[in-house]
Amino acid sequence: MRVTPWQLAEALGLPPPTDEQAAVIAAPPGPTLVVAGAGAGKTETMAARVVWMVANGLVAPDEVLGLTFTRKAAQQLTTRIRTRLARLAGAPLVRELDPSGRLRGLLAGSEPEISTYHSYAGRLLSEHGLLLPVEPNATLLTETQLWQLAHRVVTAWDGDLDTERTPVSVTEAVLALSGQLAEHLVEPEQLAEAHTELEKLVFTLPAGPRQRGGPNQELQNIVAAQRERVALLPLVRRLAEELRRRGALDFGSQMSLAARLASEHAEVGRAERTRFRLVLLDEYQDTGHAQRILLAALFGDLDSARGAMNPAAPEPDTNEPSPSRAEVREAEGNVSAGQEDPSVDSTAGRDAGEPTMPEDAVRTTDAQDDSAPPEGPRQAEAWRSGAEPENDGESVVRDRLAVTAVGDPMQSIYGWRGASAANLPRFATDFPSAPGVPAPILPLLTSWRNPPEALDLANLVAEPLRHTEGGVSVDALRPRPDAGAGTVALALTETVAVERDWVAERIAAEWEAHADAGLPPPTSAVLVRRNADAAPLAEALRERGLPVEIVGLGGLLATPEVADVVATLRLIADPSAGSAAVRILTGARWRIGVTDLAALARRARELSIVQPPDRTDAITDGAALADALRSVAPEPAEQAGLVDAIADPGAPDNYSQAGYQRIVELGRELTALRERGGQSLPELVADVERTIGVGIETQARRAAAGGGAGREHLDAFSEVVAGYAADHRATLPALLTFLAAAEEVENGLEPGEVEVARDRVQILTVHAAKGLEWEVVAVPHVVRGVFPSGTAAGTWLGALAELPTALRGDRQREDARDGVPVLDLSELYDRTDLEHAIKQHKEALGRRRVDEERRLFYVALTRTERALFVSAHHWAETGASPKGPSDFLLELKHAVEAPDSAATTTVRVDHWSDPPAADAVNPFTDNPASAQWPRDPLGKRRAAVEQGAEFVRTQLLELAREQSETSTSGEQLALFADADPDAVDPDDPEGWAADVDALLAEFLAAADTVREVQLPEQLPATALVDLRADPAKLAARLRRPLPYPPSPFTRRGTAFHAWLQRWFGATQLLDLDELAGAQDISSGTDAELTRLQEAFLSSPWANRNPVEVEVAFETSLAGTLIRGRMDAVFAEPGGRWLVVDWKTGAEPTRAEERAVSMQLAVYRLAWARLMAARTGADETETLERIGAAFHYVRTGRTIAPEDLPGPRELERLIEKAAPAWTTPPEDDPA
């Protein structure tokens, strides 16, 4: 029985695929290039192809390899495939396909390998690296670690070096050159000889007409740059030697070594082709040359890959006539995908017959192939309905390797970091269907994301790129059949300030429209070409009351919350860290004004002047002269800084009352942190975060309702610190040096991954936006010199870090004209010809750069789901000349205004300012901008926030009065009444009395007997354990929520859980109350992490593959929203499921078992509701097929209670406490 893509979708409860998607899903084994436009559903189609091939017995789940670029993309693809395979395992269709149960067993016992390209290369080196040889356990260095090593190599170099550059500049050039050599698989010896012909021509060609003397300055500079590049090669070799000596690799050498391994050792490819029968290559247009060689050598034409490794090798002869289709069919026995009869519609014959699949169909090696869409309406109809097609005498090998590459040449925007747009068209010859026969190309051109209006503009922008010579020909994207109308508007304003206001007003109007309709805010993004444009746009949005997040600009270290943590660490370690002190002093928390800051600086100078007790003003000898000079200009080691002045601010009269109190309080914090400086680096960073309150502030500012969002960057920074701390030599000063290098080398480290958010407007670069989508998108500043960028890109003619284009693996070829242009040195008769050739070469490189900018603009326009706003301005805040709209925006406007354009009625031009007069002056010249400093973090919201704070204080005072009537006396009331957080007592500038009053108020409030606590609208699933075991304890915690104290046990559970996530391939972030170990009744000692890992690996769970891991859920019980996250869900025989929660603590006592089981009961119910929602099955029936268990890792026991409470019992538990319940007096109120 053959299952069609439509039958499979129906069986899994999924929407039916389009004809285009079905052609990709059911493409026969063999290589296939899928050109998937923006928003065309490529991830869903790739997942469906896996499930279709598994369902039809063409591959087993563990014979599938999927490669993509980011961990996030790999996780998304993994989840999509796991979900589809899990549905297939539970679908009745499986029993029809395979009554023997073998297919169900495969689905339960195996799963695909989904990885990033770099992780896959690392795996190959670890398994086969000794063939090169490379140590299997080689350490992979980060960019910063590599920079530090390269800088040591450069500064320690004692040989000749013909350059005048600084050590830092030389380090950067050596690293970039090393990376280019690795990426393009070029040996240093090849580079050393690459410029010889050019240099010879420069100095030997005769002068041309009207030329005198020798080569001009431009030619001499070009030759000098080539020589200087060659002069760096000894340093490049020394760096490579150091890496080998240390057993270390960088990302570039990891990929190049993997490519060499695959191309030089055919047995590696044979092993991988035996292991995998379906290979998915995602975002293929973003692969580099080394990745292309690696993949082609493993899964394509090995000879072609070997030839492409050597830049000097002759190009393959592409003029041989291609065999006819009949010859290909005769040679290969395969029908090219995408050639089915167009008259066949997608709704025909969906009812499958009853024939069963033979027991050996899962791994048949020689059978009739009916997977290819046959030619002719009659056979096509049979194929689509699942019936056996007529035998036309064609026989194929069922287990032929299937390689499906997915990419979009319109979205190749990462050339600046090694990606090659030429790889996509070269796939067809790197992975031929048969010798000399290119792989078939299938399109996915229906956009499921963009409204028709935005799609029209995006197609217009991409038109010049659509049919490039030698490239992949791509037709225009089309909207989905039921696509609704979108909102698209263009604008050109007089000034950049007016443009920002226009953007902010348009987005604010969209938010207001949603609010008026009772809808949540639309997801919204502002996509910028330059980082510098983000902050002013954010301010314009905030002025209209919109919450804003600047995503990832400037790197992790530039995010405000991380910058505050790092500045505090610098103050702890370095008293001379003046810039860090200014950041903290003038930041949102302390807001020290200019006058107080000046007084603090004077105090620092006073502390720098050390007056000996017996010193006189007379200078009588050399020692007295040295003392006098030192008092005027002290040595750096003797000079006090702002940090010293914070610790000893001097007389309070020198400062304002509020300023002095804040400085003293900051000094106390820093002193306390220094006293706790003996902690490990991760513990110290967590301590700093907790002390300065940045984590809570970040969550309060940006968190989605109950989602815990907003900690992404802090969590990412914690991971960086933890990774650095793994080095036993790690100290705080060393960490700060590492971070300073990372700020320069890695652009401040990679920020934490940020998902599209509904509760804020996100501002990010277009590059960072690729792969994401929002309902509302604005693309501002489409002006000349900005978009497209006017920054001149370095070329190999002058930049040391660039390889000569003739050495690049993606260079232009006769059969691939979209490669990197190569300088043509043929048929040159004099220096005029040479200068003309160089000029043409530069122009070709410039056109290539503009093409990449055009693709970037296309990406920006295709991020929207509904509304798109594109704008520009004439006058920027600086510059004597106006900018004006770039060609990109003018193309859109001209298209909108064209008489025969459909966009004339659907795209609005809100405003289009006339060009300034020739003698116009920049209006910003006479109107300089001014701003308050330090900046008020509340801005225009201050009055409203202060009013709200006053209301809260009034309510607290009223509550204190009511409580004083039945419990304590007026003493407590007086303490509440006096509690003004902003008040400064002139007699107590350091605030000791206020602290005592606050502690007494807390003591008296805690001394009350019984309190009523209202059940909140949301509870974590683990709270039901306390609700069942000790309601008073839960009530006390809800009444007075406090963070969990630092605990090695919780950290141990967290570390184990993170390790377990990596084991199962999950990457989701956890909420604070979901940390592994946080709910364990007890835990072990600090030495137990390794034992916990070993215990898990020896358990049967280590050999099982969960269907899903880290499953977040929200479900309602008795009107209360219960939130949680299931650790893992496993498929069980008979269509059953088992939810497993990992426990690192001790097993509960018998008295505690019933309470602890409440957690499992909620998980079981949540999974039942999730499955019922996905499949449409009855919730009650689904619940009966689900079990739940705790696995106690330390003891190896799995406890699965048989009588878990059902939904009604859980509801009664909550209803019993819903009105309110009371808390007893606390034993220790302090």
Binding-site members are 36-43
Separation in Å, CA 987 to CA 652, 660, 978, 980, 991: 11, 13, 15, 16, 9
SS3 category, 149 = helix
CB hemisphere CA count around 1059 (13 angstroms): 17
8 Å CB contact between 86 and 1175:
no
* Rounded CA separation 525/552 (Å): 13
Q: Which of 429, 373, 384 is nearest to 405 (CA)?
A: 429
At 844 the three-state DSSP class reads: helix
**What's the length of the chain?**
1230
List, as one string, the DSSP characters of 591-620. ---HHHHHHHHHHHHHHH----TT--S---
Angle between helices 681-692 and 694-702 (to 10 degrees): 60
CA–CA separation, 78 and 1202 (whole Å): 32
The total of other beta-carbon atoms located within 10 Å of residue 800's CB is 22
Which residue bears the tokens 């690459």? Answer: 194
Estimate the crossing angle of helix 712-725 against helix 732-745, to 10 degrees. 120
| Separation between Cα atoms, residue 206 and residue 830, nearest integer Å | 5
Half-sphere exposure of 705 (CA within 13 A, CB side): 9
Q: Mapped to the 3 state alphabet, what secondary structure does 756-791 carry?
A: CCCCCEEEEEHHHHCCCCEEEEEECCCECECCCECC
Whether 372 contacts 112, CB under 8 Å: no
- Check residue 441 and give left, alpha or beta (phi > 0: left; psi -120 to 50: alpha): beta
- Note whether 1058 and 1093 are within 8 A (CB): no
The H or E element containing residue 1113 is: strand 1108-1117
Q: H or E element: which one contains 970?
A: helix 970-977
Structure tokens at 638: 């003797």
C-alpha pair distances (Å), 518 with each of 16, 485, 514, 522, 672: 32, 21, 6, 12, 49
Q: Would you list which residues are annotated within the binding site for ATP?
A: 36-43
Say how far apart CA 762 and CA 774 lie, in whole Å.
Answer: 10
Dihedral sign for Cα atoms in the order 210, 212, 218, 222: positive
Q: Are 1147 and 1198 in contact (CB under 8 A)?
A: no
Residue 898 tokens read as: 């064209």
Alpha-carbon distance of 915 to 924, in angstroms, equals: 16
Give residue for tokens 């590492």: 738
Is the CB of residue 939 less than 8 Å from the CB of residue 542? yes
Residues 199, 81: Cα–Cα separation, whole Å:
56
Contacts of 407 (CB under 8 A, 6+ apart): 33, 34, 35, 36, 283, 284, 285, 286, 424, 427
Please report how many Cα atoms fall inside a 13 Å half-sphere around the Cα of residue 1218, on the Cβ side.
13
The DSSP result for 676-724, as a single string, is TTTS-HHHHHHHHHHHHTHHHHHHHHH--TTT-TT-HHHHHHHHHHHHH
Answer whether 563's CB lies under 8 Å from 557's CB. yes
Q: Which residues pair with 443 in a beta bridge?
A: 35
